[in-house]
Amino acid sequence: MTKPPLTLYLAAPNGFCAGVDRAIKIVEMAIEKWGAPIYVRHEIVHNKFVVDALREKGAVFVEELDEAPTDRPVIFSAHGVAKAVPAEAERRNMVYVDATCPLVSKVHIEAERHHENGLQMIMIGHEGHPETIGTMGQLPDGEVLLVETPEDVAQLRPRDPARLAYITQTTLSVDDTAGIVAALKARFPAIVGPHKEDICYATTNRQEAVKAVAPKVQALLVIGAPNSSNSRRLVEVARAAGCDYAMLVQRATDIDWRALEGVGAVGLTAGASAPQVLVDEVIDAFRNRFDVALELVETAQENIEFKVPRVLRDAS
């Protein structure tokens, strides 16, 4: 029986970014240095496949520090933590390694600098997301006001409308964020923005690649976890770019093949915390069912690498 033809457009860049790659290396090197178990506060990155693989190597994932014993090292996730977390680890005499993505740390430093200059911060981000919690937790309560939509901007009651700065979560939709920034600037003309865009290079690049693929396809799949902000944004970007059927799948077993019946062109991408093995798995699943012509749609090239902390480099 002949397989139906299908063009599979692979958006590039896709998958792991430098911050995720670094965070995973930190856990692996910590296990190598100190032996198992190593405790990790919160999922190191938002991907079940990655977390399960690290768990098998000896990582124990906890939500709060008090769930970890004081005599074992603890690692803070790539999303960043509030200042109170390392302070608590030091109070308990715990060995800790901070795997916060350097691009998230850059936003933390920005927030502190503006605070020292007497500005109140407005953060564009998703309430409850670990990165938002960690960034807002760099400053005292009340010093960071959170907005998620342009409508939220109208409800803001800052201390002094002339003394404001804004920062953003690194994994937001570039286009949605531009709308919120425009609303902030319209209402608070003196507001100070970041020197360089807070939304990280990897988020931006993956969204641009999806925008290039979406008009070519009838369906687009994003490999990523339901709690991955950057992966969920890719689904939204695909729909906004004209691809009505855009779905988030954790791996090949999640694909709804009935929905793809009669489709001749499908787009594929992966969020920044999804490993290459899952991309390959999905491509193989398509090849099992279709006569696949694989086309790469590359809109940028990435060669960024972040060093792991010195405590682990010294060990190796």
Q: Which residues are catalytic?
A: 131
Please choose, from the candidates 277, 267, 274, the residue with its C-alpha nearest in 3D space to the C-alpha of residue 224.
274
Helix 174-187 with 201-213: angle, nearest 10 deg: 120
Distance CA 116, CA 107 (A): 14
Please choose, from the candidates 223, 195, 212, 170, the residue with its C-alpha nearest in 3D space to the C-alpha of residue 300.
212
Alpha helices in 61-167 (DSSP H): 84-91, 102-116, 130-136, 150-155
CB burial of 144-172 (b: ≥16 within 10 Å; e: otherwise) equals bbbbbebebbeebebeeeebbbbbbbbbb
CA 130 to each of CA 10, 45, 87, 195, 260: distance values in angstroms, whole numbers, following the listed order: 29, 10, 18, 24, 34
Distance CA 195, CA 204 (A): 17
How are strands ordered across the β-sheet holding 164-168?
144-147, 120-124, 164-168
Please choose, from the candidates 100, 101, 75, the residue with its C-alpha nearest in 3D space to the C-alpha of residue 89.
75
Task: List, as own/partner pairs, every contact residues 58-61 make where C-beta atoms lie below 8 angstroms and the sequence separation is at least 24, other chains included.
Answer: 58/31, 59/27, 59/31
Distance CA 205, CA 210 (A): 9
